[in-house]
Structure 1
Amino acid sequence: MRRLGRTLVAAVLTVTVITGTAGWASADTQRAVTGPLPGTAAWRAEPGPAAGAGVRPVRGLPDPESAGPREVARFFAALDPDEARALVRRHPLVAGNLDGVPVALRYLANRIAILASGEARYLSLAGAGRQILAFDPRGRGQVAEVFGDLTHAEHVAVVVPGSDNDASTYDRKRAPYSGPGGMARALRASTGDTTAVVAWTGYTTPVGVGLDAAQGHLAESGAARLTRFLSGLDAVGAADPALFCHSYGSVVCGLAARYADARDIVVLGSPGMRADNVAGLRTRARVWAAKGPSDWIDDVPNVEFAGLGHGADPTSAGFGARRVPAADAEGHTGYFVPGTQSLAAFAAIATGAAR
């Protein structure tokens, strides 16, 4: 009975904090982007009028909703290179987001899609040298960007961000190490450029620290998308990645852990992973956790009650994760700042040097 009472008190405190009475931002409810990829209807219509006059249609295209990444990879491997590029140019929004499509073709497709969008807020993503692995303009927009040679790198890392990240805000210039783009750049630089790093803003994130951030519905949708994305990396021959999951992104990674073919899962500034301990994640990956002394996430009660909260603190002794030193990480977003203990440890994990 006493334990139930503590749980009820913690749940009330969680609601109080998240709804803003502690000075945090309450936010509008977000709806996860689901359903067929943009352009799916035209893709499915081939061969036919959608192919265009004088264009050789490609038969037997893999269905974007039902075909797995390995099936997609086999299909593209059988195409003539010119035929594959022509297909991508006709259907950039599908090809650029379809897991299993060769990496170079996805870069081409997404550059075409970004330029065709006519959206000024996205145009910088089409700049010279940028490697955009996914671009979905629906909702607030989603994007994945690669730093390094994803196909040939010995090591791969994927940064999974938390709240307030989307296609137009993920690469923050004023706070360069607080968004997934800056985190990915810092991690790649700290490995001596030996690791390919993906900044994956591939799900609908919460806005602010409101009820969406306290609930799991966006994380559940994000976990499904992350799982498929990682299967796509495997299908094109990329190395098994280390996942670096920040804040609400750690909830996503916790839900995806049992399905993800990851070498390591690192959570930082985590409100919980929807598991009581590492065993509850049901993963073969090594699990690591970091939390700095000034991170406000420490004020969030680690409970899961009536759909609110995300469970145990991954940095607690009872959870069983390997601890990452983070004594000099400032605030909630200071973990990837150059020169910090946490970034040095992340680099060792990414390159497989950490034990």
Structure 2
Amino acid sequence: MAMVFADPETLDRLAKSLDSKANAIPQLKARASALDAGGHVAGLPAIATWLGDTARDLRRRANILRSPSESPFDSLAAFGLPPGVAGDPGAGMKLQADLKALLEAQKNGTPQQRAQAVKDYFATLSPAQQAALAATDPLLVGNLDGVPVNVRFAANRMSIQKEYTAEAAYLATLKPSDAAYKRTKERVDTLRSFMNPRVKTFLDPKTGQRTTVEVPRQFLVFDAQFGSTADAKASPFPDGRIAEVVGDLENADNVAFRVPGITNRLDNFNGFTKGGYQLVTDTKGNERSDTAVVSWLGYDTPELGDSVDPAKAFTGGAALNAFRQGISVNLKPNAGLDIFAHSYGTLVTSKALQAGLTNVDNVTFMGSPGLGPNINSVADFKMPNTKFFAMRAPGDWVSYTQGHGKDPADFKDITRLDTKGASGHSQYYDSETGALDNMRRIFYGGDGGPLTYTKTSLDDEQVGAAEAREMVGFLHGKIPPDVVVKMGGDLDAAVQAHFAGRMGVKDLLVEVHTVLGKHNMWDRVPPDELFGKINDLAGNLAYKQAYQAAKDKGAPDLVAAAAGKAAEIASEHLLYVTTWPVVKLLEVDRIANNVKQFGDIVDQGAEEIGGHVKEMGTELGKDGAQIYNDTKDLTGGLFKDGGNVVLELGDTFVRPWRAGENAGDIWKIADGAQDKIFDKVPDIAGGLNDAKNTFVDKGGDIARSAAETGGKAVDKGKDIGKSVVKFVLG
């Protein structure tokens, strides 16, 4: 059963149908009167009135759903809380200050210690005080572990309403032709759906009857401004951080966390959380009262380009571990805890388990790209009390390529489960599949029948899967991980633009070509080696297919092997002929790229050296000017003093009786000259020393830049030589 929300379009269609039936009643009544049967349809006018009234009420509800406008009091009431701020608006501010002081005192505590302190504090508050605190600071209260979950639900509902109002106003300023219109509208529609009720079907424990009711959606985490912005041109808003609960979290016997993979954001959250509704609902379509599922989008998921980078898995894993420890104070002490992780989310979960998330009963990995290069078996987690399961549906290329390590579905010590009916990367939660059935059996503790298993190989599941895995392994051996990460980052903007419709395939291929050249891909993976590997793998694939085709027709092994070998040889020869021109074109491209990079190296080196020379000239000019000024002051002063001495001596010659007085003056002048020398000579010496240091430092920079440029140029010259030789003789 899929999740069901109260949908305004559906209500409009139902209202239209009721109006149609109401409008038909007068005609029916007239026909009945003509047949003298008017007495039998006397109740039709009352039915018409009821139909019309119901249609109007449905349209009223549809309009409310289209543009929810809810006060904080309404949000509090939705989760059984009184309007706590009505009597004393200042009460919330005082409580907010107390809570922040508590958090400051607990800043060095563990997530569980912090959450327990918060829980103890809220236990001292009345429901009205809790409501007042939620209304005063909904962002803090709604995302704080330890707060009673109904208070968090109410606080986050207020935040959702505020965000919806702001983003709907922004959407109103956009035209459908604007680049940001489509994703912004999807985001606004999603926020609106968060405020709308959902339809819950369950077995009433009092009557045993199947019952359907409308209930508010429950958000345990909501921060619309969290994370990076996936594509600023498509939407100016960050990806967001959200967690939705289905079920009674505080009283559930079994609790599950669902951890998503790449490209999950606020605007497409409903697509992710749908799996949580599927998981908590049994095969008869009834939600189980003893379970609760948390669809946790609590980390900044990668987009396509940076999905090759494990960085967000480390931060996401730490966040998942902290969330698990913090929320534990709100769960039943003996509640079971399972994790169901998909795609990149399996890497996040792996990092969380390695960071200390040990209090977990079952972990299920689905469509995993790998759990990190250091995890090659369940034993590597050192968690003997936790059961580990893995699923890999036929055609799941994310698992086949093993972008982040060994696929857990191939661990010898893991329990691999069947996914019957599911295929590809995104059907694990689809109804009526073995994947969903097995997840429910794990989650419900065995209810619904025994687990079903599989041991299929890559060849059993998908033609070419084994060859694709080997090809990726070949490339990993040629390209360092840091270069892969940089390439992914460089390509992300172009990939985003392509999927948003701003860039066509041709321009995307041009950008890919540019990035490959930037990172020297044809030097790291020479074209002849690349296509040689492709030819080998294609030959292997041809052998397998021909061998199997012969076996299917009843041929003995020897004949089937001969057929396979013939197909392999034919495939390799055919591919060699067809790929040879491509290899030569790529080798020409490699030569051109290397020549361009050689020129870039020389230009960059010349610019860098020129900058150092300019800086040295500027600094030496300053030092020289200072030396000149100090020397000028000294020589000018000494020249003046010397002149005065000559005058005093001349005066003594003319007037000998003043010899004593003149001698005293000469002595004073000599003392002044000495002072000038002692004052200026150190300045001149310092200026000369500064000039020497400038020459040495900048000269060293020039020498280093020249050496680096020369080294890079020599290396690139070797690449050019190799690529030319390969083109001529290869």
Pairwise same-fold verdict (TM > 0.5)? yes
Match for 2:369: what amino acid? P
Matched, 1:268 2:305: no
Q: Which residue is 2:477 aligned to?
A: none
Structure with more of its chain in helix, by fraction: 2
Q: Which residue is 2:240 aligned to?
A: 141
Match for 1:292: what amino acid? A
- The share of aligned pairs that are identical, in percent, is 33
Q: Which residue is 1:242 aligned to?
A: 338
Q: Which residue is 1:4 aligned to?
A: none
Matched, 1:295 2:408: no
Which runs of 4 or more aligned residues in structure 1 lie more than 4 Å from their structure 2 counterparts after TM superposition? Answer: 51-56
Cα distance in 2, alignment partners of residues 242 and 157 from structure 1: 5
Picking from 150, 162, 182, the partner of 2:274 is: 182
Distance 1:56 1:163, change over 3 A: closer
Cα distance in 1, alignment partners of residues 122 and 322 from structure 2: 18
Picking from 357, 366, 382, the partner of 1:282 is: 382
State the secondary structure of the residue aligned to 1:151.
helix
> For this pair of structures, how many residues does the alignment match?
288
Matched, 1:150 2:249: yes
Verify the 8 A CA contact 2:370 2:399 in the aligned structure 1. Answer: no
State the secondary structure of the residue aligned to 2:341.
strand
Cα distance in 2, alignment partners of residues 60 and 281 from structure 1: 41
Q: Which residue is 2:132 aligned to?
A: 86
Picking from 170, 188, 194, the partner of 1:125 is: 194
Q: Which residue is 1:164 aligned to?
A: 263
Q: Which residue is 2:565 aligned to?
A: none
Cα distance in 1, alignment partners of residues 416 and 91 from structure 2: 60
Structure 1 gap ranges (5+): 1-50, 173-178, 303-308
Report the structure number with the largest CA radius of gyration. 2
Structure 2 gap ranges (5+): 1-87, 169-187, 198-215, 226-237, 452-730
Match for 2:151: what amino acid? L
Q: Which residue is 2:495 aligned to?
A: none
State the secondary structure of the residue aligned to 1:71.
helix
Verify the 8 A CA contact 1:69 1:228 in the aligned structure 2. Answer: no
Instruction: Out of 69-78 and 108-117, give the one that drifted further.
Output: 69-78
Deviations 1:182-224 (A, max 9, x none): 111111113752221111111100112x2x2122110111111
Picking from 427, 439, 445, the partner of 1:352 is: 445
Q: Which structure is higher in RCO with an 8 Å CA cutoff and minimum separation 6? A: 1
Verify the 8 A CA contact 2:92 2:136 in the aligned structure 1. Answer: no
Cα distance in 2, alignment partners of residues 101 and 168 from structure 1: 27
Match for 1:255: what amino acid? K
Verify the 8 A CA contact 1:262 1:285 in the aligned structure 2. Answer: yes
Q: Which residue is 1:60 aligned to?
A: 98
Alpha-carbon offset, residue 55 of structure 1: 5.1
Q: Which residue is 2:312 aligned to?
A: 218
Q: Which residue is 2:327 aligned to?
A: 233
Alpha-carbon offset, residue 152 of structure 1: 1.2
Match for 2:280: what amino acid? R
Alpha-carbon offset, residue 53 of structure 1: 4.4
Distance 1:154 1:220, change over 3 A: same
Distance 1:316 1:73, change over 3 A: same
Q: Which residue is 1:9 aligned to?
A: none
State the secondary structure of the residue aligned to 1:272.
coil
Cα distance in 2, alignment partners of residues 156 and 56 from structure 1: 34
Structure with more of its chain in strand, by fraction: 1
TM-score normalised by length of structure 2: 0.38
Verify the 8 A CA contact 1:99 1:228 in the aligned structure 2. Answer: no
Matched, 1:207 2:303: yes
Picking from 426, 429, 432, the partner of 1:333 is: 426
State the secondary structure of the residue aligned to 1:99.
coil
State the secondary structure of the residue aligned to 1:279.
helix
Cα distance in 2, alignment partners of residues 55 and 264 from structure 1: 41
